[in-house]
Amino acid sequence: MACAMCSTRAPDGKAAMSELLNIDDLHLEFHTYDGVVKVLAGVNLQMRRGDVLGLVGETGCGKSMTALSVPRLIPMPPGRITAGRVTFNGEDILSKRESEMEAFRARHVGMIFQDPVTNLNPLFTIREQLVDAVLYQQAQGKKVPGRWRGFSPSVRQLRKEAHERAVELMRLTGIPDGDKRIYDYPHQFSGGMRQRVLIAMALAGDPDLLIADEPTTALDVTIQAQILRLIRSLVAQLGLTVLLITHNLGVVARSCERVAVMYAGRVVEESPVRELFRNPKHPYTRGLIAAVPQKDVHRGGLEGIPGIIPNLINPPAGCRFNPRCEHVMDICRESVPPAIDVGAGHRASCFLYPEDA
Amino acid sequence: MNIRFYILRRIALVIPTLIGLSILTFSIARIVPGDPVGLAAGPRATEEIKEAFRREFGLDQPLPIQYINYMTGLFRGDWGESLYTRRAVINDLRVYWPATLELTTAAVVIATVLGVPAGVISAMYRNRLPDHVARVLSLFFVSFPSFWLAMIFQTWFARDLGLFPIGKRLPVLVSPPAPTTGLFLIDSLVQLDLETFLISLRHLFIPALVLSFGAFASITRITRASMVEALEKDFVRMERAIGIPYRVIIFKYVLRNALIATITVISLNFGWLMAGAILIETIFDWPGLGLYAVEASLSLDFQPIMGIAILYGVVFSVVNILTDIVYGILDPRIRYG
């Protein structure tokens, strides 16, 4: 039991390095009273087993919506996927029925969110929530016998094992005295500890993919560092595949191997982390990196990218960055730039680069 | 804070509440214009007869003394007697109160058993057909006067279909079970008298159902509203994201969050129904406290009025304490202190 986490799950009939997640030309709209918001306009994203991919971009660029499309948790309505495919392990997610999705989420995906205070249910003990996470993720959509059936020895055994697994998960995520603290309620934990509990819940079923949506944004700086260290050590220990969403380039630099930059509903550049910082190609990425405050530059204020994020009800035609771009050309206002190879594993969607490079 | 200590303290706090209530009722019952003695002694009573009446009931003494006499009697179990019937109030309450308690409790149970699931379904299928049905039903039930619905139900189910008796707690020829609690359902069960149990259940059903409609509507609406609110919480998305089935999320995790508001409304309804049962009791010839209270008030029969006020005060306090205890069971963040 204790070592179930340590072994990487055998990939389902595929080679270990095969493609795990493929988001292909995903278009998402939100219908609001003001009009149709084109939130995602052709997102492309690929992840392989073992990848740690950072997804960066500013508020409202569609990072979270891209992530939520994998467990299919985008509220619909008002959301509507108008084009594109999401495949996971070769399975088409968008065509699944909701009941199949419940099993899918239990089996393949773990997710942690921004605010550890509101993401735990305040009325239930950690034990109740964590044991349920273990039981339902192990059941993978099948029925779980309720606690009221505790008179049956097999049920009691099942719940006892789930309890042991829950304590083990607490140890794994660095919560001291898990065997005692499991009986506590969420409000008896600090913010950092609650985020650890949430990570434990997400990992309960040994998921293929962990999606972390700004997991450190609501925490204070020292706790942020601890949580990132925890995620990194879990990646090393368990061989997790992680999609890490953040607006903080520093977090990406420290925690990820690859990074995808999003702007206004599209992925504009994708590259290994070092390459991106050393050699950013897309004008938006360059602006973003230039905007990171440097500790050795004390003259002048903070750099910024001129202009504001476009209104996604009436987005600019062509490249959505064109109104803010210093290299803007006529073609940028007419058509959407395709993703072009600009280096080893490095792709940028910009007309500045010749397509055959 | 220890919960036992908290309950003891809450019970202790009931005493000042009841003293305040008794002073208020006592004053109102005495201050209202009208001469209870004149009413009780009859139109042709001489001044001497009225004077004798006053002396007998202690009405010749100053008000504060009267109050103190009443209160000391209360603690000895002497709740005074009616000016008219000369029966002891405490005995009347013993006879009428269980009928009202049985009717109100049954109504609250029906309203809760139907209203909470209706609210949950409403919230699950928000703005879809089941939601519309539940909302129209609850609007229907609050909008129609209960006495009208009572008569319609009486006509349909009792007269036309003959499914249920038209009124009363039991038929004239059936003798009530020996009174342990005075609640026929419980008394007959205690004596394993299934036949009487079923008969009194049939008598209880329609009055309790009609009485429950208003409460059903408010319980449905508050459950729906708080379920909708709880469903928007972040933890619902988190629980879905990690693969907890939606029905488990609804019935286990979200429902408990929504029940806190619902419990409040249920306990308030219990009070309202007790006070409001009078119309239903009249229509169904239900020998409850409502009719007794109205007769006492109309004839300024102050001893029964006092008795009823004190009894209701105690019941309200008990319901409130129970509600607070249930809060604490539902929400661990509530600390007693």
Report the 10 Å Cβ neighbour count for B147.
Answer: 14
Average of per-residue pLDDT values in chain A: 84
Q: For residue A14, name the pLDDT band (cuts at 50, 70, 90).
A: very low
CA–CA distance, B217 with B194 (Å, rounded to integer)? 32
The answer to whether A71 faces chain B, any CB pair under 8 Å, is yes
The answer to whether A205 faces chain B, any CB pair under 8 Å, is yes
Closest to A122 (Cβ–Cβ): which among B239, B241, B333? B333
The answer to whether A206 faces chain B, any CB pair under 8 Å, is no
Chain B residues with CB inside 8 Å of A185's CB?
332-333
Contact A72, B246 (CB under 8 A): no
- Do A71 and B330 count as a contact with CB atoms less than 8 A apart? no
CA–CA distance, B101 with B281 (Å, rounded to integer)? 12
Q: What is the DSSP letter of B88?
A: B
CA distance A310 to chain B (A): 28
Instruction: Supply the pLDDT for residue A1.
Output: 37
Instruction: Supply the pLDDT for residue B31.
Output: 77
The answer to whether A101 faces chain B, any CB pair under 8 Å, is no
Instruction: Supply the pLDDT for residue A111.
Output: 92
Cis ω on the peptide bond leading into residue A77 (within 30° of 0)? yes
Q: Is B284 exposed, middle or buried (0-12, 13-18, 19+ CB in 10 A)?
A: buried
Token look-up 């035609």 returns A317
Q: Give residue-wise pLDDT tens across range A169-184.
A: 999 888 988 889 999 9
The first and second tokens of residue B283, run together, are: 């229509």
Angle between helices A126-139 and A98-108 (to 10 degrees): 110
Closest to B330 (Cβ–Cβ): which among A113, A123, A132? A123
Contact A140, A106 (CB under 8 A): yes
CA–CA distance, B48 with B56 (Å, rounded to integer)? 12
Among B317, B272, B312, which Cα is nearest to B292's?
B312
CA–CA distance, A52 with A278 (Å, rounded to integer)? 19
Average pLDDT over residues A291-314: 74
CA–CA distance, B186 with A285 (Å, rounded to integer)? 76
Q: Give residue-wise pLDDT tens across range B158-194.
A: 888 878 887 788 877 777 777 777 788 888 888 888 8
Tell me which of A123, A143, A210, A211 to substitute to probe the interface with B (most B C-beta atoms closer than 10 Å): A123
Q: Give residue-wise pLDDT tens across range B290-317.
A: 888 888 888 888 888 888 888 888 888 8
CA distance B11 to chain A (A): 27
Does the pTM exceed 0.90?
no
Instruction: Supply the pLDDT for residue A183.
Output: 92
Report the 10 Å Cβ neighbour count for B247.
Answer: 10
Coil, helix or strand for A345? coil
- Interface size between A and B, measured as CB pairs under 8 A: 87
Instruction: Supply the pLDDT for residue B266.
Output: 93
CA distance A207 to chain B (A): 9
The answer to whether A65 faces chain B, any CB pair under 8 Å, is no
The answer to whether A88 faces chain B, any CB pair under 8 Å, is no
CA–CA distance, A55 with A214 (Å, rounded to integer)? 10
CA–CA distance, B54 with A118 (Å, rounded to integer)? 67
**Complex ipTM:** 0.84
List all residues 6 or more positions away from A192 whose beta carbon is below 8 Å from its beta carbon. A116, A219, A223, A226, A227
Q: For A211, which residue in chain B has the nearest alpha carbon?
A: B241
The answer to whether A106 faces chain B, any CB pair under 8 Å, is yes
- Do A124 and B253 count as a contact with CB atoms less than 8 A apart? yes
Q: For B327, which residue in chain A has the nearest alpha carbon?
A: A123
Instruction: Supply the pLDDT for residue B336.
Output: 65
Chain B residues with CB inside 8 Å of A201's CB?
238, 242
The first and second tokens of residue A60, run together, are: 């409202």
- Do B235 and A118 count as a contact with CB atoms less than 8 A apart? yes
Q: How many residues does chain B have?
A: 337
Rg (CA), chain B: 24
The first and second tokens of residue B150, run together, are: 């009572």
The answer to whether A201 faces chain B, any CB pair under 8 Å, is yes
- Do B256 and A123 count as a contact with CB atoms less than 8 A apart? yes
Token look-up 């293929």 returns A208
Average of per-residue pLDDT values in chain B: 86
Chain B residues with CB inside 8 Å of A102's CB?
243, 245-246
The enclosing H or E element of A267 equals strand A266-272
The three-point CA angle A293-A299-A300 to 5° equals 75
Average pLDDT over residues B109-114: 95
